[in-house]
Amino acid sequence: MSEKIRKIGVLTSGGDAPGMNAAIRSVVRTCAYHEIECVGIYRGFEGLIEGDFKVLSARSVNNIIHTGGTMLKSARSKTFRTAEGRKAAHTHLKNAGIDALVLIGGDGTFTGGLVFNKEFNFPIIGIPGTIDNDIFGTNYTLGFDTALNTVVQVIDKIRDTASSHKRLFFVEVMGRDVGHLALNAGVGAGAEEILIPEEDLGLDRLLESLRRSKKSGKSSSIVVVAEGDKIGKNVFELKDYVNENLEEYDVRVSVLGHMQRGGSPSCFDRVLASRMGVKAVETLLEGKSNYMVGILNNVMALTPLEKAVKGETDINMELLRVSDIMTT
């Protein structure tokens, strides 16, 4: 283990995700296990620039494994994009005697960390925390599983009213510009159609599919739409379009929004967070830097941060075929 690392800072940045607190807990407790200090940095890079730090002990993270959000808060920082901002951050880290950083967040967080590392050669490790599951180098990002379960539970509720009123619902889900949330939750919730950025279904095929569903005896339908979908109409415009072209449907819209980011993390996300926190700290203690901790085929893995940031995630084509078959 590297003797150089005596104090590790941890921060959360970007959109919050369920499981971030479990990851913070794991980082803090792994530091305590190795008898090194851990410092919590509040409000992401903004707090780093302002020196908003607090020493965290193993007891500081009691009773948070089951909580959503992030006890360290998060923020998107424009100032950290400036050299002055990053210099101020580095000064605060040195004054506090912090030797390395664990960054919990998404690709934007890692990009900022890489710029900082290049300027100051400051050791960093990334933990992928985002409900979008859009980060190369891991099968799962923290929060994805919890968000999936939230979305499926909500769609189950929407299905109750849709079937009671024989309605078609367009349900918009998050995911920024990828369709992993929409595809997996759509299959899990039994959606009749799933619109994702990675596959252009097209308006004609959508109408044809909805006509076919109606003819096959389906009296209500759920269409899950990824917020980054590229069909060319948002969910409200899709509602109007279907109302104009398919008289037999009474159409409504539900935009799930930020509720998908909240809630108590699932057991899967808690376990994943705990594993990632240990791997992140021990990777730093081995003297390594500029990696992202991930899970690949249920094994903890390290991916160079440059690749994690630049890489893209592919849609699961086998799952896409399953979703097509399920609309029979």
Catalytic residue numbers read: 132
Q: Which CB, 132 or 229, lies closer to ligand F6P? A: 132
Minimum Å distance from CB 15 to ligand F6P?
A: 3
Minimum Å distance from CB 43 to ligand F6P?
A: 14
Q: Which CB, 221 or 313, lies closer to ligand F6P? A: 313
Q: Which CB, 30 or 254, lies closer to ligand F6P? A: 254
> Was 131 annotated as part of a binding site?
yes
Neighbours of 208 (CB within 10 A): 12
> Was 107 annotated as part of a binding site?
yes
> Was 198 annotated as part of a binding site?
no
> Was 51 annotated as part of a binding site?
no
Minimum Å distance from CB 130 to ligand F6P?
A: 5
> Was 71 annotated as part of a binding site?
no
Q: Which residues bind ligand F6P (CB under 6 A)?
A: 15, 106, 130-132, 174-176, 227, 261
Q: Which CB, 174 or 253, lies closer to ligand F6P? A: 174
Minimum Å distance from CB 14 to ligand F6P?
A: 6
Q: Residue 102: which of 80, 86, 126 has the closest Cα? A: 126
> Was 43 annotated as part of a binding site?
no
Neighbours of 279 (CB within 10 A): 21
Q: Which CB, 109 or 290, lies closer to ligand F6P? A: 109
* Binding-site residues for ATP: 15, 76-77, 106-109
Provide the annotated binding site: 15, 25-29, 76-77, 106-109, 130-132, 159, 167, 174-176, 190-192, 218-220, 227, 252, 258-261
Task: Give the residue numbers of the binding site for substrate.
Answer: 130-132, 167, 174-176, 227, 252, 258-261
